[in-house]
Chains A and B, each alone.
Chain A
Amino acid sequence: EAQVTQNPRYLITVTGKKLTVTCSQNMNHEYMSWYRQDPGLGLRQIYYSMNVEVTDKGDVPEGYKVSRKEKRNFPLILESPSPNQTSLYFCASSFGQGSNSPLHFGNGTRLTVT
């Protein structure tokens, strides 16, 4: 089944403790992206990647890192999480950049930083 898989689904951590949220897609998509969803703000893009070893900042990259060593994986790294990073995070992927390449989303990771 074609899908984007994020892990974990839920994560509670403390300020400053490094964490990684994994994202994997099995559709051989070139493009991958991370979003955070906050009430009243919709989805905001954190980082995206057009292909292996190519990553770029989105609208809200501060406090986050990503890597794209393999085509299928695009982990999101929080080196020193803070409470303002408490949010619902979504990974997404698509085959290309044309309008006929819709984004496929994972089911989300709810992160709480205390």
Chain B
Amino acid sequence: GDSVTQMEGPVTLSEEAFLTINCTYTATGYPSLFWYVQYPGEGLQLLLKATKADDKGSNKGFEATYRKETTSFHLEKGSVQVSDSAVYFCALSDLGGANNLFFGTGTRLTVIP
């Protein structure tokens, strides 16, 4: 079945450090891939998405590239800020849509000044 494997956390970085959160997936078809972010006390928000191979999703300085050959969708940011502290979830939808998502376990990021 479809699944998402996400890098274990928590991750602690200093401000302006480079961030990578690894995500790999298993799917029978051609899924759409997403990164969601959850700030403390809030629900999840869509951060970025990619719907086909080699697509790059980007938002707020974060990027992720849909790599079909390695079944990966790693999240990166060149210079993190304290305000980026949150839990990040990788997710896939095998229906070509944004619903019925399979989520990873989440990675908690803490950025210290």
Contact = CB atoms under 8 A, between A and B. Distances in A.
A99 B96 contact: yes
B83 interface: no
Contacts of B101: 43, 45, 103
Given A43-B89, A102-B46, A107 B97 contact: no
A96 interface: yes
Given A99-B32, A102-B46, A103-B46, A45 B106 contact: no
Contacts, number: 68
Contacts of B32: 99
Nearest to A32: B99
A2 to B, nearest CB: 12
A48 B100 contact: yes
Given A94-B98, A99-B49, A101-B97, A43 B43 contact: no
A103 B104 contact: no
B98 A42 contact: no
A41 to B, nearest CB: 6
Contacts of A24: none
Interface of A: 4, 31, 33, 35, 40-45, 48, 58, 90, 92, 94, 96-103, 105-108
7 contacts: A42-B6, A42-B106, A45-B101, A96-B97, A99-B98, A107-B41, A108-B43
